[in-house]
């Protein structure tokens, strides 16, 4: 891979030289610095770089230029180098009239740098992160895993998705490609069982499970705890926040999850409305950081294992785990999250992983280069997925059953979607069929108002239409609403009284379920706010309530 390019444009010579100098001092050994003093010359230079397929990683452009605004320049530059991160240089002006406000809302920039800048505070950390992100968008030079399998096989997709969620570099080779055949010969495999995964040190895994991949990364995949203060089910934002607070406050903490850190939020390419991250943060990065934080506080994290049952024995909740172990916990927090609701269309279900994906499937975005793709859903997850896919696909179309997105999607996302030329929105539309043998080739869409149908070519269909809670493993004593979400606190109180099975004199605490000492947090809870920040808040609050519950216990 050639050196990534940092492109700097400012019509003021001293500012241009100062910025280029700062960048050169920190990144000059690994990057090439290209500087221009006019928009016209800048576009010429970018066209020449694009013609030579030279990679521009970061564009740093001043907003105030005589021949063109920085926002307009970045829009044109983005068409030439769509994977480059766009940084707008602006004057220090914290009013809503500053062009950076609208530019961020409309998705026209990725970051802003206020002049004068502080290199160590604002410039270097941001550019360093952008270079790391840019590197992941390229074919990796070094990989932790190499995979050989059918390109559109369900298991191949699941492996790619798992590694992408964990932020791990990998290379994938089709089973019938020369590179695929060569790698199979190298590791002594005949290809009768696929996919084959080769670790960086040569270890070979044949059709590995999620747990085996995690184990190959050094992650703990077996539970050895027999007792703990608090057991947490689920490693999404709510569960990870609960683990951080529980462990940091001295509680012996066990967390189990069948997949890995992140939950649904882990697949979000960019979360822009999480407090403290004005330019957004990927769900995978947020989950990884929280996971590391919980571990460093002493939480026992077990991945690749699911909770399979819950009972009460001698007054203590007993959690059963899929590896066959049982844990006597003084308190339990259920933050198991939800699974994406299925379309229940037989021909589409047959193509899951072969062009039909439930969730954002970030691992497949690069393969959508120049294709027409569809996103089913009207929430923030669907909007974020469409915006991310639009960076690669020729066209991304959102299919929403309702008459407007504003009922379920944040305004900043709607504005960004409207400002992205290759995103289309079809309201009152639903997918009723799919077409293709080995992979998805077309979908049939019905207009719910007119009753008409249309079959259109489709390279991929991403389905994000709400969820079904992971609560089937729980006993009937844990009360749920009509759709399976856990009832907690005042939602359990009817006519001023708790449910008949409630054994205590006091009413259930805010996040407490119908079983004393068992709490629920995040999306799995009835009437929860489906936002990352609220899930984190509930996870933290649950630990405060656990302390209150434990203080009531004898001894």
Q: What percent of the chain has pLDDT over 70?
A: 98
Euclidean distance between CA atoms 224 and 217, whole angstroms? 19
Euclidean distance between CA atoms 41 and 48, whole angstroms? 11
Each residue of 446-485: pLDDT tens digit?
999 999 999 999 999 999 998 899 999 999 999 999 999 9
Euclidean distance between CA atoms 64 and 233, whole angstroms? 52
pLDDT band at 380 (very low <50, low <70, confident <90, very high): very high
Euclidean distance between CA atoms 382 and 375, whole angstroms? 6
pLDDT band at 536 (very low <50, low <70, confident <90, very high): very high
Q: Quick check: do 227-339+469-552 and 346-465 share a fold?
A: yes
Rounded (10°) angle between helices 532-552 and 237-248: 40
For residue 99, what is the enclosing H or E element?
Answer: helix 99-105
Q: Are 243 and 299 in contact (CB under 8 A)?
A: yes
Euclidean distance between CA atoms 388 and 270, whole angstroms? 8
Q: Are 385 and 464 in contact (CB under 8 A)?
A: yes
Task: Provide the CATH topology of domain 227-339+469-552.
Answer: FAD/NAD(P)-binding domain (3.50.50)
Q: Are 488 and 510 in contact (CB under 8 A)?
A: yes
Compute the radius of gyration of the chain from its Cα atoms. Answer: 25
CATH of range 145-216; options 3.30.479.10, 3.10.270.10, 3.40.50.720, 3.40.30.10? 3.40.30.10
Each residue of 300-349: pLDDT tens digit?
999 999 999 999 998 889 999 999 999 999 999 999 999 989 999 999 99
What sign results for the dihedral spanned by CA atoms 489, 495, 496, 499?
negative
- Other CB atoms within a 10 A radius of the CB of residue 421 amount to 10
What sign results for the dihedral spanned by CA atoms 45, 48, 52, 58?
positive
**Residue 93 neighbours by CB under 8 Å, 6+ apart:** none
pLDDT score at 141 = 55
Domain 346-465 grouped into CATH 3.50.50.60? yes
Helices H, strands E: what count in the chain?
Answer: 14, 26
**Residue 8 neighbours by CB under 8 Å, 6+ apart:** 16, 19, 20, 23, 33, 34, 35, 36, 60, 61
Sorted by where each begins, the domain ranges of the chain are 5-137, 145-216, 227-339+469-552, 346-465
User: So what CATH class is 5-137?
Assistant: alpha beta
- Other CB atoms within a 10 A radius of the CB of residue 196 amount to 23
């Amino acid at each position: 891979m050639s050196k990534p390019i940092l492109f700097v444009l400012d019509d003021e010579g001293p500012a241009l030289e100062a910025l280029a100098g700062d960048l050169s001092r920190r990144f000059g050994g690994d990057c090439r610095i290209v500087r221009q003093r006019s928009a016209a010359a800048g576009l010429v230079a970018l066209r020449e770089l694009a013609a030579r397929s030279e990679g521009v990683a970061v564009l740093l452009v001043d907003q105030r230029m005589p021949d063109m605004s920085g926002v307009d320049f970045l829009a044109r530059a983005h068409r030439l180098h769509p994977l480059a991160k766009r940084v707008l240089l602006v004057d220090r002006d914290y009013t809503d009239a500053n062009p950076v406000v609208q530019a961020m809302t409309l998705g026209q920039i990725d970051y802003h740098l206020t002049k004068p800048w502080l290199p160590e505070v604002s410039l270097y950390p941001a550019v360093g992160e952008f270079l790391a992100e840019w590197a992941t968008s390229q074919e990796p030079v070094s990989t932790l895993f190499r995979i050989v399998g059918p390109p559109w096989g369900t298991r191949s997709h699941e492996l790619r998705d798992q590694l992408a969620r964990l932020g791990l570099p990998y290379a994938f080779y089709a089973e019938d490609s020369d590179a695929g055949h060569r790698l199979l010969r190298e590791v002594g495999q005949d290809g009768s069982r696929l996919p084959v995964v080769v670790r960086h040190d040569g270890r070979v895994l044949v059709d590995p499970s999620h747990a085996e991949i995690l184990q190959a990364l050094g992650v703990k995949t077996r539970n050895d705890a027999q007792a703990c203060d608090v057991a947490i089910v689920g490693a999404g934002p709510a569960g990870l926040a609960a683990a951080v607070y529980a462990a940091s406050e001295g509680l012996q903490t066990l967390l189990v999850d069948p997949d890995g850190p992140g939950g649904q939020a882990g697949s979000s390419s960019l979360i822009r409305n999480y407090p403290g991250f004005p330019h957004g943060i990927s769900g995978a990065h947020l989950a990884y950081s929280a996971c590391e934080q919980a571990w460093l506080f002493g939480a026992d994290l077990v991945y690749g294992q699911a909770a399979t049952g819950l009972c009460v024995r001698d007054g203590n909740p007993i959690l059963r785990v899929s590896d066959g172990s049982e844990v006597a916990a003084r308190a339990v927090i259920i933050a198991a999250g939800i699974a994406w609701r299925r379309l229940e269309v037989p021909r589409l279900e047959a193509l899951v992983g072969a062009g039909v994906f439930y969730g954002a499937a970030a691992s497949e975005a690069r393969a959508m280069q120049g294709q027409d793709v569809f996103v089913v859903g009207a929430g923030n997850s669907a909007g974020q997925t469409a915006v991310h896919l639009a960076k690669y696909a020729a066209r991304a179309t959102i299919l929403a059953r309702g008459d407007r997105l504003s009922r379920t999607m944040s305004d900043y996302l709607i504005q960004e979607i409207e400002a992205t030329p290759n995103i289309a929105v079809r309201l009152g539309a639903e997918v009723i069929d799919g077409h293709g043998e080995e992979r998805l080739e077309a979908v049939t869409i019905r207009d719910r108002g007119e009753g008409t149908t249309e079959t259109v070519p489709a390279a991929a269909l991403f389905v994000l239409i709400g969820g079904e809670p992971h609560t089937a493993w729980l006993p009937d004593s844990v009360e749920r609403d009509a759709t399976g979400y856990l009832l907690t606190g005042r939602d359990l109180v009817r006519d001023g009284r708790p449910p008949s099975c409630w054994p205590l004199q006091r009413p259930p605490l805010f996040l407490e379920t119908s079983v004393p000492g068992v709490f629920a947090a995040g999306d799995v809870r009835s009437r929860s706010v489906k936002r990352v920040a609220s899930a984190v808040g509930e996870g933290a609050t649950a630990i405060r309530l656990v302390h209150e519950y434990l203080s009531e216990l004898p001894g």
